[in-house]
Structure 1
Amino acid sequence: MPIPACPVVHFELPYRDAARVSTFYQTVFGWQLQPMGPEMGNYILATTSTCDSSAPDALRGSINGGLFPLVPESPLQQPSVVLGVPDVREAMARVSAAGGQVLGEPMAIPGVGDYVVFVDPEGNRLSMLQPLMG
């Protein structure tokens, strides 16, 4: 069975100062930033384009992202991309079989889907997301 192509669906960047990083990306690039609060780990959603809109100025093929608090004692606190996968457990098995390392178990993100971090054989931190259906 062929492996489905898995697109980049999201990006993530670490931050040290939420107000500073929000001001920077809003001022320089016009991003809309939405703090999710402590109940969501102080994650900040970043809307970079109206890619899902039917508006005439919508940028097709663009992705949005998020910013997460830097935790210096945690490994691999670096920018990364999130790949959309149809089945996160099958993709985890493929990562391991191909020489990558899955870090932990999938985390259920309410209203979004199942998310897990992995490291490719070159040491790059990436993530996978199996979106909720519907």
Structure 2
Amino acid sequence: MAHSDSKIDYIEFNVREIARAKHFYGAAFGWRFTDYGPDYCEFDDGRLKGGFTTTAPVSVAGGPLVILFAEDLEQAQSKVEQAGGTVSRAIFSFPGGRRFHFRDPDGYELAVWSDKGA
């Protein structure tokens, strides 16, 4: 089996405004972007690539929970809030670490986890 076979390779978000999505994810997580016309932008977090598109309606119902990693969970939460995100579940502990959930400006719920701290 190839190294990348059956691994998450790309995530795509339907967004209302590409510029707003770029601002939020750039400010909160330092992602880099490549524009491909007015309706599509690729993001790169340094490990995984994905895209923002306005070619389909935004849907916040269902779908996978995308979970990001942070060395400093409190700092990540602060950056999310400063960038315009809303914490939907405060930091909580689970076996192996801690995490919080948030909603981005388009209403998508994501989470950030860390194995650091207690």
Name the larger-Rg structure. Answer: 1
TM-score (norm: length of structure 2):
0.46
TM score, norm. by length of structure 1: 0.41
